[in-house]
């Protein structure tokens, strides 16, 4: 197993051979650059999805790629998510590395049977003789004021399914490298892209991969409380950590990055240092990724904990209309309230 909507820049700007290896770019552009590099490295990499050709996708992540690589490698598909994933499975069986784009998180469910019953199980069904190097890109999460079926967090469904890898970058640098590593994986990867982070810029080192695909990383060091999240939640946790520091509380922030498998060593090391853990996510808290992490940390670091593991999550209700999303989604205030409760024990 390998572990390895704004406008986009021109092809020369996103190339790894650009003048400076360190470039500032939004995540959408970083993903575009990572996809382009993967296609240059391997002619078997194909892109498939709704409106990903001339339009470049709803979020312009694939902008310019069809013009460069042609319609046979960057293909506009019908509005049929089950057909997209089913076709990708067939292509993978013939030695290709398809990358599917699901236009919005809520649109992935028509392909759920293909993903969970076929894609996730094909390798095991054939005793390892068939590999499924398929990446399914899914913009997910809230904070953009979208309508129903356009702001959901389905990560727990896929993390629960054996045979799938599930990852989510929080920075442009991670997006650039993680998409390439996901494509290089011989296992199917659900690649969750936090849509609210598509546009903020960040530094991308085009010459230094950094962390492996399935690794938890320390985003900010601290000593009193550990905050853990993934995707767009990491920026919220960093904001909460800044506010806590103004009040004299030292908070450590961890970026989960990989939802399945989870790299627990850095999490346990941090908890043994701080004695407290707050897990935050946009998804509802019931039977969630945060629930699993809380249970595992309690099991393996019980005697290091000074307080119960606390969870901050979206409410156990369907995602609300846009005007109510700020109430539904965890913010820095809700995180800080959990920090205060953890410190009170």
3-class state of residue 219 by DSSP: strand
- Band of pLDDT at residue 149, cut at 50, 70 and 90: confident
pLDDT band at 2 (very low <50, low <70, confident <90, very high): very low
Query: What span, in angstroms and rounded, lies between the C-alpha atoms of 141 and 236?
Result: 13
Q: Which of the pair, 11 or 126, is modelled with greater confidence?
A: 126
Give CA–CA dist 291/146, Å, rounded.
27
Nearest alpha-carbon partner for 233 in 269, 196, 198: 196
* pLDDT tens, residue by residue, 186-197: 999 999 999 999
pLDDT of residue 14: 45
**Residue that is written with structure tokens 């030292």 in the block:** 250
| Band of residue 144 on the pLDDT scale cut at 50, 70, 90 | confident
Residues near 31 by beta carbon (within 8 Å), at least 6 away in sequence = 61, 137, 175, 176, 179, 193
| pLDDT score recorded for residue 19 | 55
pLDDT band with cut points at 50, 70 and 90 for residue 3? very low
> How would residue 321 be classed by pLDDT, with cut points 50, 70 and 90?
confident
What average pLDDT does the chain have? 93
Q: What is the DSSP string of 28-90?
A: HHHHHHHHHHHHHH-TTEEEEETT-SSS--TT-TTTTHHHHH-TTTEEE--S-HHHHHHHHHH
Above pLDDT 90, what percent of the chain?
86
Please pick, among 143, 150, 173, 214, the residue that the annotation labels catalytic. Answer: 150
- All domains of the chain, ordered by start, with CATH? 13-205 (3.40.50.970), 217-344 (3.40.50.920)
Q: Number of C-alpha atoms within 13 angstroms, CB side, residue 91?
A: 22
pLDDT, residue 57, reads 95
| Residue 119 three-state SS | helix
Q: What are phi and psi of 251, to 5 degrees?
A: -115, 135
Q: Is residue 184's pLDDT more than 60?
A: yes
Of 251, 167, 253, 165, which is closest to residue 211 (Cα–Cα)?
Answer: 167
The arithmetic mean of pLDDT across residues 309-327, rounded, is 91
What is the average per-residue pLDDT within 295-306?
A: 98
pTM as predicted: 0.91
Pair 27, 198: CB distance under 8 Å:
yes
Q: For residue 188, which of 252, 114, 106 has the smallest C-alpha distance?
A: 114
150 noted as active-site residue: yes
Query: pLDDT at residue 115 above 70?
Result: yes
Residue 109 has pLDDT above 70, yes or no: yes
Q: What is the mean pLDDT of residues 174-192?
A: 98
pLDDT tens track for 250-296 = 999 999 999 999 999 999 999 999 999 999 999 999 999 999 999 99
Across the range 295-308, mean pLDDT stands at 98
Beta bridge partners of 189: 135, 165
Q: How far apart are CA 332 and CA 36, in angstroms?
A: 36
Beta strands 22-26 and 201-205, pairing class: antiparallel
Output the pLDDT for position 18. 45
pLDDT at 213 over 80: yes
192: β partners: 138
- What confidence score (pLDDT) does residue 5 get? 36
CB 136 within 8 A of CB 89: no
- Mean of the pLDDT values across residues 162-189? 98
Beta-carbon neighbour count of residue 217 at 10 Å?
Answer: 19
């Amino acid at each position: 197993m390998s572990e390895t909507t704004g406008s986009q820049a021109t092809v020369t700007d996103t190339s790894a051979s650009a003048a400076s290896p360190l470039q500032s770019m939004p995540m959408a552009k970083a993903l575009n650059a990572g996809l382009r590099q993967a296609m240059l490295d391997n002619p078997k990499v194909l892109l498939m999805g709704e409106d990903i050709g001339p339009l470049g996708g709803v979020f312009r992540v694939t902008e310019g790629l069809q013009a460069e690589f042609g319609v046979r490698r960057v293909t506009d598909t019908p509005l049929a998510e089950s057909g997209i994933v089913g076709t990708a499975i067939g292509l993978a069986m013939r030695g290709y590395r398809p990358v599917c784009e699901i236009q919005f998180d809520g649109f992935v469910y028509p392909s759920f049977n293909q993903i969970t019953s076929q894609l996730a199980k094909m390798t095991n069904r054939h005793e390892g003789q068939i590999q499924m190097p398929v990446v399914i890109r899914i913009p997910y999460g809230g904070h953009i004021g979208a309508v129903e079926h356009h702001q959901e967090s389905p990560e727990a469904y896929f993390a629960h399914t054996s045979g799938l890898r599930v990852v989510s970058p929080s920075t442009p640098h991670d997006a650039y490298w993680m998409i390439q590593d996901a494509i290089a994986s011989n296992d199917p990867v659900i690649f969750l892209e936090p849509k609210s982070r598509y546009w903020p810029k960040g530094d991308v080192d085009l010459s230094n991969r950094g962390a492996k695909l399935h690794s938890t990383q320390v985003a900010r060091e601290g000593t009193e409380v550990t905050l853990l999240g993934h995707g767009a939640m990491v920026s919220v946790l960093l904001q909460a950590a800044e506010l806590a520091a103004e009040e004299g509380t030292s908070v450590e922030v961890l970026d989960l990055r990989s939802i399945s498998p989870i790299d627990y060593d850095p999490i346990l090391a941090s908890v043994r240092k701080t004695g407290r853990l707050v897990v935050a996510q946009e998804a509802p808290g019931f039977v969630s990724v945060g629930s699993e992490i809380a249970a595992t940390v309690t099991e393996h670091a019980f005697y290091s904990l000074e307080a119960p593991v606390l969870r901050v999550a979206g409410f156990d209700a369907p995602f609300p209309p846009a005007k109510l999303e700020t109430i539904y989604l965890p913010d820095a205030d809700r995180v800080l309230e959990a920090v205060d409760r953890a410190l009170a024990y």
